[in-house]
Amino acid sequence: MAIPEPISDPARRSVFDSLPDGIVIVDLNGAITYVNRQLADWAGYEPEELIGHSIEELVPEDLGVQHRSHRASYLAHGLPTRAMGSNLRTRLRTKQQDEMPVDIALRPVETEEGRQVLAAVRDATERIRAQDRIEALLEVSQHILANDPTDEVLALIARRARHLVDADVALVSVPSEVRTEKVVEVADGQPEDELRGRRLPVDGRFSGQVLLTGRSPVIRVGAGGRCSE
Confidence of residue 45 (pLDDT cuts 50, 70, 90): very high
pLDDT at 178 over 50: yes
C-alpha–C-alpha distance, residues 77 and 84, integer Å = 18
Lowest-confidence region among 42-51, 141-150, 207-216, 220-229? 220-229
Instruction: Tell me the average pLDDT of the chain.
Output: 84
Q: What is the pLDDT of residue 4?
A: 55
Let me know the angle formed at the C-alpha of 100 by 98 and 106, rounded to the nearest 5 degrees: 130
Indicate the CATH number for domain 127-228.
3.30.450.40
* Domain spans, the chain: 10-123, 127-228
Average pLDDT over residues 183-198: 80
Q: In the chain, what percentage of residues exceed pLDDT 90?
A: 44
* 90 neighbors 101 (Cβ within 8 angstroms): yes
Min mean pLDDT across 55-69, 136-150, 173-187, 214-228 is at: 214-228
* Ordered strands of the 181-188 beta sheet: 170-175, 181-188, 199-201
pLDDT over 80 (residue 184): yes
The reply to whether 10-123 and 127-228 are identical in fold is: yes
CA atoms within 13 A on the CB side of 170: 15
What is the reported pLDDT for 1? 45
Question: Would you say residue 125 has pLDDT above 70?
Answer: yes
Mean pLDDT of 121-139: 92
For the beta sheet containing 114-123, the strands, ordered from the edge strand earlier in sequence to the opposite edge, are 32-35, 22-26, 114-123, 99-111, 90-93
**Statement: residue 135 has pLDDT above 80:** yes
**Alpha-carbon 79 to chain mean position:** 27
Band (87; pLDDT cuts 50, 70, 90): low
Q: How far apart are CA 22 and CA 43, in angstroms?
A: 10
Is residue 53 predicted with pLDDT exceeding 90? yes
Q: Is the pLDDT of residue 227 over 50?
A: no
Domain range 10-123, its CATH number among 3.30.450.20, 2.60.15.10, 2.30.30.790, 3.40.50.1260: 3.30.450.20
- pLDDT band at residue 106 using 50, 70 and 90 as cut-offs: very high
Give tens-digit pLDDT for 91-103: 999 999 999 999 9
